[in-house]
Amino acid sequence: MFRTWLLLCLPAFLSLACAAPRTVETGEDGTVPWVGQTLEALTLEQKVAQLFAVPAYGYFRSTDDPAYAELVELVEQVGVGGVIFFQGEPLAQAMLANDLQSRARLPLLVSQDMEWGPGMRLEHTTTLPRTMALGATRDPALAYTAGYMTAREARALGVHQIFAPVADVNNNPNNPIINVRSFGEDPALVAEMVAAFVRGAQDGGVIATAKHFPGHGDTATDSHADLPVILHDRDRLDHVELIPFRAAVQAGIGSIMTAHIAFPRLETDPRVPGTLSPAITTGLLREALGFDGLVVTDAMNMAGVTKHFEPGEAAVRAIAAGADMVLMSEDVYAARAAVLRAVTEGRLSEARIDRSVYRILRAKARLGLHLNRTVDLEAVRHHVATRPHRVLSETIARASLTLLRNEHDLLPLLPPPGRLFILTLSDDDDPDTGAAFARTIRELARGAVVTHRLVDRRTSDAERERFLREAAGYDAVLVPAFVRVRSWSGRINLPDDQRAFLDRLLALDPPVVLLSFGNPYIVMGLARQPEVYLAAYGGAEASQKAAAQALFGMSPVGGRLPVTIPGHYAYGEGLSLEQVALRPGFPEEAGMDGDALDRVDSLLHAAIETRAFPGAAVAIGRDGVLVKSEGYGYHTYAAGQRVTPQSRFDLASLTKVVATTTAAMLLYEDGRLDLDAPVATYLPEFGQNGKGHVTIRQLLTHTSGLIPFRPFHRMGFTTREQVLKAILADSLVYPPGTETRYSDFNMIVLALVIEQITGQDFATFTREAIFEPLGMHNTGFIAAGHGPDTTAVPTEYDRDFRKRLVQGEVHDETAYLLDGVAGHAGLFSTVEDLATFAYMLLHEGRIHGRAFLQPETIRLFTTRADATGESTRALGWDTKSPEGYSSAGQYFGPRSFGHTGFTGTSLWIDPDQQLFVILLSNRVYPTRENQRHRTVRAALADLAAQAIRETPPRPLLPTPPGTYATE
């Protein structure tokens, strides 16, 4: 459900992330009058200068920096038509773009490579998973939204033209430069994804650029380093390489980039790449495909051009071939002079120059640059790397994961192995490679021993030997491999020494999980295959996080391989895994409004300020996503130890449902507990004094006739035996089944029944049967004799009974007399553990890939027992009050169930909205007289329910305002 909502809503959210470019008014012929007027007023020198785009870096530079001065001269004196930004920082780039725009006679067309989002070039911006990851999703809606997001962020940064998408069909496993930059090897898939991305990007207000025409996918040579040669004829191109470019043209793409590749079956001169070939640029692209947008060259400083041509000759040939913009000439001054000379000598006509300048000006006008060429610097921080953008990145990353091998069903790793060894393989020397993956593994595999080692170009032979010895002693070895596409490198495979190292690792006993965060072909040539092979296609942080979560079953895996891995895996292969554990994520992933949910922070801070409690922890989840897990305040009102999601709280009466009722559910399913049997059947001594006909069901519904409470700690009782003897001997205070009176005694007695049935003490049975199987490692009783746990959140300063601050021992006096272990109180836990418990109940009792409880049992125990509606009680659980105050607030549904605890705790679950809300607090500190927490419980539930957005906040328009207009 949330995936559909996300795809509908994200474009609407993204459109709010950047002010839309101004809509362009056009004349009767579909053009802007400014275009013709401006072209007519330009000199030949000025027109020729418009054909060049020069590189720039978006970092801060002082006004006397030589690089800045050179850039200013090219803009002010030469009058170049465009600037191509490379690496930089968002605000510095936007400032520089504005500066250059203010100096230019005509608006500059600002371009940037953004194949996987702005993060391809800019720090602190959104980095999307690689293009091949999108291909693995098979989802054009995600490609559209990726294009849209990229465009909105680009416009905020002052960028008008993005060099994306890559339309190459990667059908050569040895391609050293395209690889994961392509959507895949199937022309139809690539075409569909290219067209979707183009529409999204241009709906978002930029010019999209398909590259590298007529196709760079079937080459084993990097055109940065040499001139590749492709021997395909026109028929082959028509049936493979050109299919995505045709789709891009049909989608209305604004620009296409030509490739520095020789096609001797199309161009007779073997030295001439497609960029300089009239047969390819004009004959094939302009005439055969009917493209009338901007044709831009690939960078003219690449060896595919410079190997045979000087800058001036290369520029003249590119323009003669049909290019409109010459990118990154090695010498702009020499290239401009050569073009001017070519016009004088008749090699180029001025009319030919005019056609290109007209297209350039038309593109600038369609972007609205003749009306406003600068961006709002104050708005950059509000529009770049926003939460909706991060949601999109993680959504694509999860959907792309492709599981190609899973021997012995090793995945998911549940329960997590006690000892995990992470060996990151990297083909560079960045010490942070794989850090995000290792960090996420440590966060998710709490309690496990996790060791991380990095093997890169700096690693010595001795270190490799030591790592192999270490790995042999672990339960499982995770090998994230970062083999990246790099210009000029000429290779894409694992270095030989790393391949040999991996082969030796695979020969060891521990199972190996190989994860490809880059080239998916790396398994080719290995002596043996790993037990698990998972392809993520790139090293974006979102991909590392998604892969780590998938290993522990926190997200589904369903990507399909978009290429063939010869000898190993066929195109379209991919195993599926379902989500079997709660995943931390963004509210938008679960169909919730993150901005609305942020109001929870204000509520909790205000509650602490008004002394409702000194500290609290909150967990909210929906649709398998933990959308909020936060700690607020401190253990006491004196600032000291902070409350976190890992802080252990005294649950008080939440013990009744988390421990006692759940234990009863398990025994009921096993046929060992009959709900309608008399309690005395299991506990004969309970039958005295008229209680022989009280049933288990009546204990659970609080209709047993037992008195709600007795203050044993004030009655001289000092031992567990005394208290239990008194409860078992007590008389009824009303006829069983005639009314509902909430009683601690009901659950104390039920815990005794459970001990009698299982032959185990209650703490041991609940730990072994409930908490350990669910992975609730921080949940349990603190029995007397173990000493107080001073790391737990304190409750009350007990001035009457214990004469001390109660911390790490049960607050409830009766439970304390029962040695800290009782059916009504005594359990300690965290919101993280309780979120896991709630996830299990919402997912029909399934968790970690197995059934913990049957869905019928959950429905039985959580459905209101009194059909007349006079009582809200279910079996153990409470349900929402139909009217008046409820700690579940106003908006939880009628089938909601939950419970509260005296210390300031509550847990509410709405199965219809797949929503849970958990609040743990120590409202009894320093005294139980405080009641301010009551309004907080209801308000918290209301904020969570109100944050649900089942429909987009506004309709998604096919062509929103600010669209890059095409005729």
| Structure tokens belonging to residue 777 | 């490692």
What is the chain's length? 967
From 139, 186, 218, 298, active-site residue: 298
Query: What is d(CA 912, CA 893) in angstroms, rounded to the nearest whole number?
Result: 7
Two tokens, residue 760:
């185990």
CB 702 within 8 A of CB 875: no
- Side by side, which strands form the sheet with 905-910? 583-584, 625-633, 615-622, 915-921, 905-910, 897-901, 878-879
Token representation of residue 266: 């199309």
Integer CA distances (angstroms), 866 to 12, 32, 177, 560, 740, in order: 45, 73, 69, 50, 10
- Residue 283 has φ and ψ, to the nearest 5°, of -60, -45
Please count the helices (runs of H) and the strands (runs of E) in the chain: 35, 28
391's enclosing H/E stretch is helix 387-400
CA distance 513 to 506: 10
**CA–CA gap between residue 475 and residue 468 (Å, rounded):** 14
**Known active-site residue 798:** no
Closest of 454, 439, 450, 444 to residue 541, by C-alpha: 439
Q: Note whether 359 and 293 are within 8 A (CB).
A: yes
Peptide bond into 520 cis (omega under 30): no
Can you read off the two tokens belonging to residue 70? Answer: 């050179």
- Residue 907 in contact with residue 841, Cβ under 8 Å? no
Task: Report yes or no: 948 and 604 within 8 Å, Cβ to Cβ.
Answer: no
612 and 932 in contact (C-beta within 8 Å)?
yes
CA–CA dist 877, 269 (Å, integer): 82
Query: How many angstroms separate the CA atoms of 505 and 438, rounded?
Result: 19
CA dist list (Å): 861 to 570, 841, 842, 912: 48, 11, 13, 16
Q: How far apart are CA 79 and CA 43, in angstroms?
A: 11
Structure tokens at 497: 């020494």
**CB-based contacts of 859: which residues, under 8 Å, 6+ apart?**
none
How many CA within 13 A on the CB side of residue 2?
Answer: 22
Could you tell me if 846 and 852 are in contact, meaning their C-beta atoms sit under 8 angstroms apart? yes
Which residues form the catalytic set? 298
